[in-house]
């Protein structure tokens, strides 16, 4: 629109174009918004097809008086170790808090490997120059066999056109179920035992295999696997056996495991949680703080009684828990983290 005040006025020329090409699609706020984005819709379709291929459920008319577990879509960006976008991930998750104890779930406990065990196995493999492989199970919880009868709603946006009012009677476990981690762990353990593995008595997520003079170690953390063996032939045989039983991604030599970057050289393994540490600092809004060699005053003690209560104790506990995992590669922080954890019940 031209007016008298705009006559002869010209906008300055753009010297730099700050437009970012190929920016990732933002995480949608609802499944309806996701269906309108081709990237997220493709991710949702991949997840739905995986559920169908796995024979996860059977569509049945809703029986009277049963507890129908609701669900929702969860969206997230899967990132490379350097922070760049790897892929779009959509997952259909049921709301486990709508389950009823004794009706559609029983025992729920499932162990995970201890950080100390990870360090021990990596140390053994490095000392003997054994190859170390990293594997990831696709849709791990979907492999678990349910002992209970569980009904859930059809995935939002993917209801069967011929039976929209039917419900899913689950044949396999789903993410979000209270018993899902347990059923997957039991399923995976049974298969490893059939291969000849034995569970360690000190850590049930560590599995040991002896074949003649060869030995292999397998670490399981939910759906992430570290596998090492004294011979390359035995290692490849085990990788093929696992891939034949489960849908897996062979990630090659270990490089990034549970937020830990692993760099292998002729002198050994270098473990780094730099990106994880930066995420903790960002969560605490302390990215711009100055570093200090000893991050605690050893002459003073935190008090559990004096001072004003911390306004957000949940935030405090989350940061303390995150720092506990950081001590896997930063044992110099152990004393400071131990002092923080003494007052987690009522931080001041």
pLDDT digits (tens, 9 = 90+) for 110-156: 888 888 899 899 999 999 999 999 998 887 887 888 888 999 999 99
233, 321: one domain: no
Residue 313 contacts by C-beta under 8 Å, 6 or more apart in sequence? Answer: 346, 347
Residue 13 lies in a domain: no
> Tokens 């011929």 appear where?
162
150 and 68 inside one domain: yes
- Kind of pairing between the strands at 71-79 and 206-211: unpaired
Residues of the chain with pLDDT > 70: what percent?
93
Using DSSP, state whether 192 is helix, strand or coil.
helix
Residue 271 lies in a domain: no
Burial (CB < 10 A; 0-12, 13-18, 19+), residue 308, is exposed
Looking at the fold, whether 291 and 233 belong to one and the same domain comes out as no
Same domain membership, residue 197 and residue 323? no
> Is the same domain home to 204 and 306?
no
The verdict on residue 143 lying in a domain is yes
Supply 213's token pair. 């003079």
Both 177 and 314 in a single domain? Answer: no
In a shared domain, residues 314 and 199? no
Structural domain that includes position 321 = 286-342
Q: Is residue 275 part of a domain?
A: no
Domain contains 279? no
Nearest to 259 by CA among 79, 75, 86: 79
**Number of other CB atoms surrounding residue 152 within 10 Å:** 25
Residues 85 and 191 in one domain: yes
User: Are both 254 and 294 inside the same structural domain?
Assistant: no
Q: Would you give per-residue pLDDT tens digits along the chain (348 residues)?
A: 444 444 454 554 444 444 444 678 899 999 999 999 999 999 999 989 988 888 889 999 999 889 999 999 999 998 877 778 888 999 999 999 989 888 888 888 888 888 889 989 999 999 999 999 999 888 788 788 888 899 999 999 999 889 889 999 999 888 889 998 999 999 999 999 999 999 999 999 999 999 999 999 999 998 899 999 999 999 999 999 999 998 888 888 988 888 888 888 888 889 999 989 999 999 999 999 888 877 677 777 777 778 888 889 999 999 999 999 999 888 888 888 988 898 888 888
In a domain, 229, yes or no: yes
Burial class of residue 21 (count of CB atoms within 10 Å of its CB; 0-12, 13-18, 19+): exposed
Q: 9 lies in a domain?
A: no
With beta carbons less than 8 A apart as the criterion, state whether 141 and 175 touch: yes
Minimal CA–CA distance to 69: which of 104, 108, 101, 102? 104
Quote the strand ranges of the chain, DSSP E: 57-60, 68-69, 71-79, 85-94, 132-137, 151-152, 167-170, 198-199, 206-211, 214-221, 224-229, 248-253, 256-257, 260-265, 268-272
- DSSP 8-state class, residue 221: E
The model's pTM: 0.75
**Structure tokens given for 187:** 């399923």
**Are 192 and 320 contained in the same domain?**
no
If asked whether residues 258 and 304 sit together in one domain, one would say: no
Same domain membership, residue 295 and residue 178: no
**Domains contained in the chain, number:** 2
In a domain, 208, yes or no: yes
């Amino acid at each position: 629109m031209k007016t008298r005040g705009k006559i002869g006025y010209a906008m300055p020329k753009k010297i730099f174009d700050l437009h970012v090409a190929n920016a990732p699609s933002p995480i949608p706020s609802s499944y309806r918004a996701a269906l309108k984005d081709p990237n997220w819709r493709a991710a949702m379709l991949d997840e739905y097809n995986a559920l169908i291929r796995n024979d996860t459920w059977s569509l049945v008319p809703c029986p009277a008086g049963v507890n129908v577990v609701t669900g929702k879509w969860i969206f997230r960006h899967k990132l490379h170790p350097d922070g760049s976008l790897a892929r779009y991930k959509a997952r259909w998750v049921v709301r486990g808090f709508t389950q009823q104890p004794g009706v559609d779930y029983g025992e729920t406990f499932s162990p995970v490997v201890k950080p100390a065990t990870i360090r021990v196995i990596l140390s053994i493999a490095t000392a003997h120059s054994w190859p170390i492989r990293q594997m990831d199970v696709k849709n791990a919880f979907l492999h678990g066999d349910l002992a209970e009868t569980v009904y859930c709603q059809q995935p939002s946006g993917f209801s069967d056109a011929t039976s929209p009012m039917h419900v899913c009677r689950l044949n396999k476990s789903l993410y979000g179920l209270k018993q899902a981690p347990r059923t997957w762990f039991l399923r995976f353990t049974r298969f490893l035992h059939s291969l000849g593995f034995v569970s360690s008595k000190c850590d049930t997520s560590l599995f040991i295999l002896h074949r003649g003079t060869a030995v292999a170690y397998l670490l399981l953390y939910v759906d992430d696997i570290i596998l090492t063996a004294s011979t390359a032939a035995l290692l490849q045989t085990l990788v093929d056996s696992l891939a034949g039983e489960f849908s897996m991604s062979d990630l090659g030599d270990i490089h990034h495991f549970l937020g830990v970057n692993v760099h292998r050289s002729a002198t050994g393994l270098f473990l780094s949680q730099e990106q994880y540490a930066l995420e903790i600092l960002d969560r605490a809004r302390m990215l711009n703080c100055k570093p200090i060699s000893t991050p605690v005053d050893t002459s003073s003690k935190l008090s559990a009684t004096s001072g004003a209560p911390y306004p957000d104790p949940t935030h405090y506990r989350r940061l303390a828990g995150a720092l506990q995992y950081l001590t896997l590669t930063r044992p110099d922080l152990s004393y400071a983290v131990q002092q923080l954890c003494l007052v987690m019940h009522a931080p001041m």
